[in-house]
Structure 1
Amino acid sequence: MSDAEAMPDWEKRFRAPRVSLPEWAEDAPDRSLFVSNATGTYELYAWDRATGEQRQVTDRANGTTDGVLSPDGRWIWWFDDTDGDEFGVWMRQPFEGGDDVPAVEGLAPAYPAGLAIGRDGATVVVGSSTDDEGSTVHVVHGAGGAPVEIYRHPESAGVGDLSHDGSLVVIEHTEHGDAMHSALRVLRPAPEGSESAPETVAELDDSEGGTKELGLSVLGFAPVAGDTRLLVGHQRRGRWEPLVWDVATGAERELVFGLPGDVSAEWYPDGEALLVVHSFEARSELWRYDLADASLTRVETPAGSVSEATARPDGSIEYLWSSAALPPVVRSTSGEVVLDPPGMKAPGSVPVEDAWVEGPGGRVHALVQRPAGEGPFPTVFEIHGGPTWHDSDAFASGPAAWVDHGYAVVRVNYRGSTGYGRAWTDALKHRVGLIELEDIGAVRAWAVASGLADPERLVLSGGSWGGYLTLLGLGVQPDDWAVGLAAVPVADYVTAFHDEMEALKAMDRTLLGGTPEEVPERFEASSPITYVDAVRAPVYISAGVNDPRCPIKQVENYVDRLAARGATHEVYRYDAGHGSLVVGERIKQVRLEIDFAQRQLGREPRP
């Protein structure tokens, strides 16, 4: 029997080669860039569609996923940080291969905040963020040109897009102090060699200076010469929808499709139609919208989730699709599989069931996967991160691993999640963490009462914000959980705030209404370390020592408090940032989590 044949299915799902949706160069559509784990580490790959040649672009110990093709297809830009700390510089490499060189000379290392490359490669706009400078945007004219600052502000901001002719830059900013709801500013940088300040061409701020909780997002300039239309996402009717804004005339055209849920869009290459992505109740689908006659035509896709999609110059649509039961695949409306990586194929898993539970803030949507047999089952509540994210009917190797080991898995789209309207996403302000736990608690009660979950064998688990909610839940709801598994969590909110990257400080100020010095009682109420002495369940924590989002010091503070009272706990520290891009490392972490839960629950481990 080969090693692959002997490998358990849960491990095969992680090791099986995967690919992202290929990004293609706007003016050289046969040149594409994608991400794959084919070597055991997620790295960037170049693909020449004309010849079929594929080439690995990056090769770093901790992996690389941030990359951009220049519109002319000549260059691959990729972000070079140190061991996953997300702090670094942009590098570039010729599409055909060659040496990596710094993409912009004269820019100090920083956290990335957007990148836009002109169609001729001569104009580049780079956004960055540091604690010392706040948010900055620089424009570079010509190869080897010096970066010129065109924007600076203490609050978070980033590059939205660059117009087709490279003359206009749109910036998403939160100058009003609400990091959850961006406003837009369109600038015309001065010509190369001029010392004039950039001209402000247009402004769009649905938040009215922060007095309303309405945000905007950049979906892209029209890909047509001389076209000043900008596709924008807005929340004016309580959910995300697109509008077309002509930044030269100020004219706005809101697009109403009659679809429930959130709607996003991107341009077809000719600028005459939009590819619409509709997300509703944890599933998604595609539509084509023709701007001339306002007609909406469905693009047939299987039931499940489309995580990425793009319209090709020939009118076909390529999209990355999966469901909880079936692994991801890059498909085309032409009927073909666009990229099918060689090697082991990921085994499928069980489909999800929908559960709707009445909670204190309204109906809570949860996704449930059941193992074979009759319940009640030991059950893992796998809590998503973000918090502005949501679990969907999409393939996920982690939950599938728990199902293989005989656990039911419940994933809760608590208040704060996206996909259920603006009010649901914005509901967790000021009582951060506690509101989410109310929804998780309501779903827990349903899971036990329905006979799905064994109340004596409930595992609370999550990563990032999900790890934070895990530690908070173990202290706030100590009688509800038998085991806690927290990956890269916020554990000591005050220390985390002072040590985290600047963009997350801005988000925390928005969520909690100020800094720890301004609203200490809110930080105390929302911090897991406040409740650490109430924790009864055994706790497993994993953390990256280079994590800029949930820094290691605040995790150590929490662990020290557990140790001081002799609480059952284990800690795994690894040399990476906010998670790992190395497949073997991820498998190790899942194995350690499952083993810990099995031992604490008194269950015999499975293969």
Structure 2
Amino acid sequence: MTTQHPAAQVPDKLFTDPVAEERWRARFKAPRVSVPDWALDAPDASLYVSNASGVWEVYAWDRAADTHRQVTDRPNGTLHATTSPDGRWIWWFDDTDGDEFGSWVREPYAGSGAAAKALADVPDGYPAGLEIGHRLVAVGVSTDDGSALYAHRDGETVRFYTSEDDAGVSALSRDERLLAISHSEHGDSRHPAVRVLASDGFTTVADKWDGEGKGLSALAFSPKHGDTRLLLLHERHGREELLIWDVEAGTEHEIDLGLPGEVVGDWYPDASALLIVHFHEGRSSLHRYDLASGELTAVETPPGRIGGAGVRPDGTVEYSWSSAAEPPVVRVRATDGSDTVLLEPPGEKAPGSEPVTDAFVDGPGGRIHALVSRPSAGEGPQPTVFLLHGGPHAADEDRFSAYRAVWLDAGFAVVEVNYRGSTGYGSAWRDAIEGRPGLTELEDVAAVHDWAVRSGLSDPAKCVVTGASWGGYLTLLALGTQPGRWAAGVAGVPVADYVAAYEDEMEQLRAFDRALFGGSPTDVPAVYDECSPITYIENVDVPVLVLAGDNDPRCPIRQIENYLDRLAAREVPYEFYRYDAGHGSLVIAETIKQVAIEVDFARRALNLT
């Protein structure tokens, strides 16, 4: 770092009212759990992740004994884990300080031994898929050289696929004869193709690619032995839908559910049906699709977000649900229709928050969907924070967010925009940012901002733009390309200097950027220049807060320092918070600290303190 940047102020507290102060912190501290996963042939051996220790870590749940054990205990937390199909082993991904670069390790499920590198002959790298069978393990690794896929069987490890392009391991058939991989040999990692290989020699059994701009994603093979049906996501009709491909028979079954929006799915254990998670306009729902009759049956849940779901061998459905007003809970729906709480970690539950409402705004590329939350007190135009989601291929939802809730507690209205580039609104909407990323999304944000002011929701002099990752990138780009619209900006782990970011980021993201921008910075330098926040830094004239992790492989620290060095030469108030982790933090205390910094900064910038 060539310049000493002003450090962000860390407030002792956000609210003078002790009840309000305790409430916002309690939402972050409240113990939460994910939907459990389980071993394919030993379903009593389950895993989930939880923040119960104060850090997101992996836990084992022996259902037969009803015992829970914390598996991992690392300073920066652990999120990625699975079991071997026999339930004997836990595999989890071991990186360094959140940098996402490392290897899979394994330890006995019973906890009777230490974790050790699972496949000694596989080099370290960024994870690119893992499939574990009884006899075969397939694992993908991404490095600066591209993608390499490995298989381990009978004590021997072989590298069966390499490519300069992005690729990964996707699915293993139940009898372990067939292995599906994802690849982008056609040059577009955002719209991958699928290849199925024979595991006895890794020769190609079948290839499937739907053509330019139409991605395919292999979800899972049928859970029945000898069944060569593979469930995929396709977008042949302009949105993500389900397809069953019988690889050996060479037949397809496109599943038309007649639902608006988009879907994802998984098999029922007997392969007679699919469990469908349906997303439409910020909310998701569950359904059962019978493959023989074509009947679609709703698994009734209140409006909100399904955070994960799976079907147990007895046909019960386990799922996570939340809404903007109600904290998440993991529930189980029995075959008789009864619905009860499945997992409830010890400790105080998170306080609730305010609901969201929908806004539909005409924009330059079509109708824009936004979610709007209003503070419980206050009338007339409000100070407003525009929370821009990351991704960009993601979406804001009617889900519980402690982060949204603290802004509401602080007296801000909150607007979340599912701009072009967001998922769930069709392929054309998602791909509309190609060739002009960042600037396209901000046209939609501007249209929603205009609506918010025109409708009387927002005080035009007190609008803050904020986001993390891609949302942080959009924040910095907005400050430079939309001067006069924003009173302050808060950018978490952003792309700030796109050319330098491309040079330093993980190869999987370089492949993504090439597909999104139309090439590398060498191929299309004008596009990177036009869409990079640092290009417009001379226009930034409002207070800026930037937060960044030292070990971030997605939005690396050097390119953020480049931006801040340029910002330092201008008479613009700004602050910088730098922390020892990667692309965000899994440590709850660190999250609380960063949130306090952000809200306090915005209040000071708007003279609301």
TM-score range, shorter chain: over 0.9
- Give the superposition deviation at 1:146: 3.0
Distance in 2 between residues matched to 1:214 and 1:249, nearest whole Å: 23
| Partner residue, 2:149 | 137
- Give the superposition deviation at 1:93: 0.9
- Within the candidate set 447, 463, 466, 2:468 is matched to 463
Q: How does 1:439-454 map to 2 (within 5 A)?
A: 439-454=444-459
- Give the superposition deviation at 1:262: 0.2
| Partner residue, 2:534 | 529
Paired residue type of 2:121: G
Q: How does 1:149-298 map to 2 (within 5 A)?
A: 149-190=159-200, 198-207=202-211, 212-298=212-298
Contact 1:283 1:393 in 2 (8 A): yes
Paired residue type of 1:61: P
- Give the superposition deviation at 1:6: 8.1
| Partner residue, 1:124 | 137
Q: Which SS does the other structure have where 1:147 is aligned? A: strand
Paired residue type of 2:351: P
- Give the superposition deviation at 1:189: 2.7
- Within the candidate set 45, 52, 55, 2:69 is matched to 55
Distance in 2 between residues matched to 1:176 and 1:150, nearest whole Å: 19
- Give the superposition deviation at 1:123: 1.0
Distance in 1 between residues matched to 2:544 and 2:460, nearest whole Å: 18
Q: What is the RMSD computed on CA atoms of the aligned residues?
A: 1.1
Q: Which SS does the other structure have where 2:156 is aligned? A: coil
- Within the candidate set 338, 361, 365, 1:361 is matched to 365
| Partner residue, 1:193 | none
- Work out which structure has the larger RCO, using CA pairs closer than 8 Å and 6 or more positions apart in sequence: 2
In the alignment, does 2:105 pair up with 1:108? Answer: no
Distance in 1 between residues matched to 2:368 and 2:22, nearest whole Å: 34
- Give the superposition deviation at 1:101: 1.1
| Partner residue, 2:109 | 95
Distance in 2 between residues matched to 1:522 and 1:249, nearest whole Å: 45
Q: How does 1:504-543 map to 2 (within 5 A)?
A: 504-543=509-548
| Partner residue, 2:553 | 548
| Partner residue, 1:374 | 379
Distance in 2 between residues matched to 1:154 and 1:375, nearest whole Å: 56
Q: Which SS does the other structure have where 1:83 is aligned? A: coil
In the alignment, does 2:83 pair up with 1:73? Answer: no
Distance in 1 between residues matched to 2:20 and 2:429, nearest whole Å: 45
Q: Using structure 2 for the length normalisation, give the TM-score.
A: 0.95
Paired residue type of 1:104: L
| Partner residue, 2:477 | 472
Distance in 2 between residues matched to 1:568 and 1:539, nearest whole Å: 7
Distance in 1 between residues matched to 2:20 and 2:516, nearest whole Å: 48
- Give the superposition deviation at 1:166: 1.2
| Partner residue, 2:51 | 37
| Partner residue, 1:307 | 307
Distance in 2 between residues matched to 1:243 and 1:367, nearest whole Å: 31
Distance in 2 between residues matched to 1:290 and 1:511, nearest whole Å: 37
Distance in 1 between residues matched to 2:99 and 2:107, nearest whole Å: 22
Distance in 2 between residues matched to 1:535 and 1:59, nearest whole Å: 42
- Within the candidate set 397, 401, 405, 2:402 is matched to 397
- Within the candidate set 481, 486, 493, 2:491 is matched to 486
Distance in 1 between residues matched to 2:506 and 2:103, nearest whole Å: 16
Distance in 2 between residues matched to 1:48 and 1:162, nearest whole Å: 25
In the alignment, does 2:26 pair up with 1:12? Answer: yes
- Give the superposition deviation at 1:168: 1.0
Contact 1:12 1:347 in 2 (8 A): yes
Distance in 1 between residues matched to 2:434 and 2:240, nearest whole Å: 19
Distance in 2 between residues matched to 1:39 and 1:502, nearest whole Å: 33
Contact 1:28 1:73 in 2 (8 A): yes
Contact 2:361 2:368 in 1 (8 A): yes
Contact 1:105 1:146 in 2 (8 A): no
In the alignment, does 2:419 pair up with 1:414? Answer: yes
Paired residue type of 1:186: V
In the alignment, does 2:356 pair up with 1:352? Answer: yes
- Give the superposition deviation at 1:564: 1.2
| Partner residue, 1:194 | none
- Give the superposition deviation at 1:294: 1.2
Distance in 2 between residues matched to 1:600 and 1:300, nearest whole Å: 45
Gaps of 5+ in 1: 191-196
Distance in 1 between residues matched to 2:96 and 2:240, nearest whole Å: 35
Distance in 1 between residues matched to 2:330 and 2:170, nearest whole Å: 26
Distance in 2 between residues matched to 1:602 and 1:426, nearest whole Å: 39
- Give the superposition deviation at 1:4: 10
Q: Which SS does the other structure have where 2:185 is aligned? A: coil
Paired residue type of 2:172: L
Distance in 1 between residues matched to 2:584 and 2:95, nearest whole Å: 14
Contact 2:550 2:581 in 1 (8 A): yes
Count residues in correspondence: 587
Q: Which moved more, 1:366-375 or 1:461-470?
A: 366-375
- Give the superposition deviation at 1:566: 2.9
Paired residue type of 2:397: S
Q: Which SS does the other structure have where 1:320 is aligned? A: strand
- Within the candidate set 125, 132, 156, 1:146 is matched to 156
Q: Using structure 1 for the length normalisation, give the TM-score.
A: 0.96
Q: Which SS does the other structure have where 1:365 is aligned? A: strand
Contact 2:176 2:199 in 1 (8 A): no
Contact 1:114 1:158 in 2 (8 A): yes
- Within the candidate set 591, 604, 607, 1:599 is matched to 604
Distance in 2 between residues matched to 1:435 and 1:261, nearest whole Å: 22
Paired residue type of 1:540: L
Contact 1:37 1:43 in 2 (8 A): yes
Q: Which SS does the other structure have where 2:471 is aligned? A: helix
- Give the superposition deviation at 1:243: 0.9
TM-superposition CA deviations, 1:206-244 (whole Å, max 9, x none)? 12xxxx210111110000011100001100111111111
Distance in 1 between residues matched to 2:224 and 2:332, nearest whole Å: 24
Distance in 2 between residues matched to 1:320 and 1:128, nearest whole Å: 30
- Within the candidate set 495, 500, 517, 2:500 is matched to 495
Contact 1:150 1:189 in 2 (8 A): no
- Within the candidate set 573, 592, 599, 1:587 is matched to 592
Contact 1:488 1:578 in 2 (8 A): yes
Paired residue type of 2:48: F
Distance 1:4 1:229, change over 3 A: farther
| Partner residue, 1:328 | 328
- Give the superposition deviation at 1:64: 0.3
Paired residue type of 2:490: L
The percent of aligned pairs where both chains have the same amino acid is 59
Contact 2:490 2:545 in 1 (8 A): yes
TM-superposition CA deviations, 1:553-595 (whole Å, max 9, x none)? 0000000001012321000000000000000000000000011
| Partner residue, 2:573 | 568
